Amino acid sequence: MNDIDLTVSIAGVTLKNPIVTASGTVGNGWEISRYYDLSELGAVCVKSITLNPREGNRPPRIAETPSGILNSVGLQNKGLDFFLKNDLNNLRKFDTKIIANISGGTIEENCEIAGRLGNEVDLIELNVSCPNVKQGGIAFGTNPAMVKEITQRVKDKCKVPLIVKLSPNVTDITETAKAARQGGADALSLINTLIGMKIDVNTAKPVLANNIGGLSGPAIRPIAVRMVWQVACCTDLPIIGMGGIISGEDAAEFIIAGATAVAVGSANIVNPAAGLEIKNQLTDYLKRKGIQSVSKLRGTVKIN
């Protein structure tokens, strides 16, 4: 295994391998670290942090859909202070990079969180695309001018490279990608969940208490691959690709489309050891294909 070079670089930060956890799917790492050593991962991206604690949406917060998950957690978290005092110290025990996903309700709140995180984490991921909160979130992420402005202002407070997480709920994702680039983003991550809805036909009521939620899982993978490819074609920023990755070959597909790293999300919900297993499967894939370095795979899609 050691003969394959898995290292990748995101805006000058070296990840020992391209496997990252997608925000919100592993909490802050406490639970899955009982299933495997988090040092096996390129980076851990923590659950969205807001300035103050958030209680989240009413349950039910999850529904199964064909090859997918619809969720409406609503950014439940214990707030920035708790993260800095508790979660961060635990994550530091592992030899992996830490990505703080921040999800403030206003530009000012995001600036304050980014400022206070300082260089306590390796990277900051700005969530401008959460579909489950009324304020902030997707309200920022679907308007290119807003994406540019929020990126600029948060970047100004960041002491570490800034990743902007893009929403797929737009007509043309290259516009928001370019806007984030113009605003000074150091990297992009995509895609966040697609807005969806499931109705119980026996009761005529939506299954989620929030009525609508974010769709993830293999169901959205082709959309995510297409968007990663489109964004890779229009910017030179490193991309963390995600959307329904459940195997090493799925991870390879995103890298071929142009992603530098990949995030595993819904797969963690089904299998706590998914991150480790996907890393090993990606290594096997590279061996099988005779590719010595994962970076050689990036953007190798042979367009018809």
Partner 1 sequence: MKNICKIIKKTQLCKEVFDFEVEFSHRPLPGQFIHVLCGDGVFLRRPISICDYNEGILRFSFAVRGEGTKRLANHNEGDMLDILGPLGRGFDTGKSGEGTAVVVGGGIGIFPLYFLSKRIKTEAILGFRTKDAVIMEDDFKSVCSAVHIATDDGSYGFHGLVTDVLQGRLEKADVTSVYACGPMPMMKEIKRITEDMGIFCQLSLEQRMGCGIGACSVCVCKSKGEYKKVCQNGPVFNAREVDFDE
- Least distance (Å) from partner 1 to the CB of residue 110? 21
- Least distance (Å) from partner 1 to the CB of residue 52? 14
Interacting residues toward partner 1 by CB under 8 A: 24-27, 30-32, 34-35, 47, 55-56, 58-64, 67-69, 71, 73, 76, 207, 217-218, 266, 268-273
Catalytic residue among 45, 111, 130, 158: 130
Q: Catalytic annotation on 130?
A: yes
- Least distance (Å) from partner 1 to the CB of residue 288? 25
CB nearer to partner 1: pick between 139 and 273: 273
Nearest 10 degrees: Cα torsion 253, 257, 263, 265:
-60
CB nearer to partner 1: pick between 39 and 300: 39
- Least distance (Å) from partner 1 to the CB of residue 184? 31
Q: Name the helix (H) or strand (E) containing 13.
A: strand 13-15
Instruction: Report long-range pairs for 59-66 (Cβ below 8 Å, ≥24 apart).
Output: 59/209, 60/207, 60/208, 60/209, 61/208, 61/209, 61/210, 61/213, 62/208, 62/213, 63/198, 63/207, 63/208, 63/213, 65/196, 65/198, 65/215, 65/217, 65/219, 66/219
Least Cα distance to 168 among 123, 225, 124 occurs for 225
CB nearer to partner 1: pick between 23 and 142: 23
How far apart are alpha carbons 148 and 166 in whole angstroms? 12
Q: Which residues are catalytic?
A: 130
